[in-house]
Amino acid sequence: RPRSSWRTCRRTKEQERKYDRRAAIQNPNVEGVQETAWAAVVPLVAKLKTFYEFSQKLESSLHCLLDILTSADSTPTQHLEQKQALARQFAHILHFTLRFDELKMTNPAIQNDFSYYRRTISRMRINNMSSDSGSEVNNELANRMSLFYASATPMLKTLSDATSKFVSDNPDVPIENTTVCLSTMACVCKVMLETPEYRSRFASEETVLFCLRVMVGVIILYDHVHPAGAFVKTSNIDMKGCIKVLKDQPPSSVEGLLNALRYTTKHLNDETTSKQIKNMLQAN
């Protein structure tokens, strides 16, 4: 089925769920309306729970990957050359993370549906009613999920926090091992995207988006763990070149990535960031 049809189908389901939820809030004593809204929201919450739990697995996997790719037995560049399968897994995690967050940012109904679910569960408990939901989310998990989805980019925040935690928990590993690993990956992606000879080998536009997402992902992680960030002149990342690569793409395909650099980095608004870089990232 064409991708546009899936988008239309998804929008229709979201609109139906929004209507059901609104009707249920306005008619709290009409049992049929409540049942319809509940039946629509429960499967969604099950999916939200699955993705939240998956984010915890990504955090653990990222820690394992960084542990190997930054170990002292080789330089970060040697690790990336010698352990290409692991580097690719790292890239796949970043690609999924940026893709997930792009979709999340365009779907504000997620938090509204989850809030409705929590209110309904609370009312059922007060009235000693059964939710008949085998995967009911308890209060503790609901609180953690609520914090997770409150972030504009929940998966990216998870990885940023995990990378920062890895650096702070491993003081015996020089921070340069981590930052050089990240900056090298950013450089490789940039060169592949801006060099016609390499780019001509890409099988599809999806491969281009893969490289773009990985590049932006490692930039954001670098900016969170490097004391001075990714935007200073002494940064190992050519930020002007990376932003130019993004700006050279169709606007519709990179707006989410540019927003990720604008709003989820740590040092963009520092005084040490040049006006040129700030201007390049200004929203049109």
Q: How far apart are CA 238 and CA 241, in angstroms?
A: 5
Longest dimension (CA), the chain: 67
pLDDT in tens, 41-75: 888 899 999 999 999 999 999 999 999 999 989 99
The Cα–Cα gap between 265 and 273 comes to 12
**pLDDT value at residue 161:** 95
What pLDDT is recorded for position 6?
Answer: 39
Task: Indicate the pTM of the whole model.
Answer: 0.83
Cα–Cα dist 55/146, whole Å: 14
Question: DSSP secondary-structure letter at 132?
Answer: -
- For the chain, the structural domain boundaries read 2-281
User: Given this model, what pLDDT does residue 13 score?
Assistant: 58
Q: Say what the pLDDT of residue 119 is.
A: 83
What tens digit of pLDDT does each residue of 184-238 get? 999 999 999 999 998 888 878 899 999 999 999 999 999 999 999 999 999 999 9
Cβ atoms of 257 and 213 closer than 8 Å: yes
Give pLDDT tens digits for 100-155. Answer: 999 998 888 888 888 888 888 877 776 665 555 445 788 789 889 999 999 989 99
- What is the model's pLDDT at position 50? 94
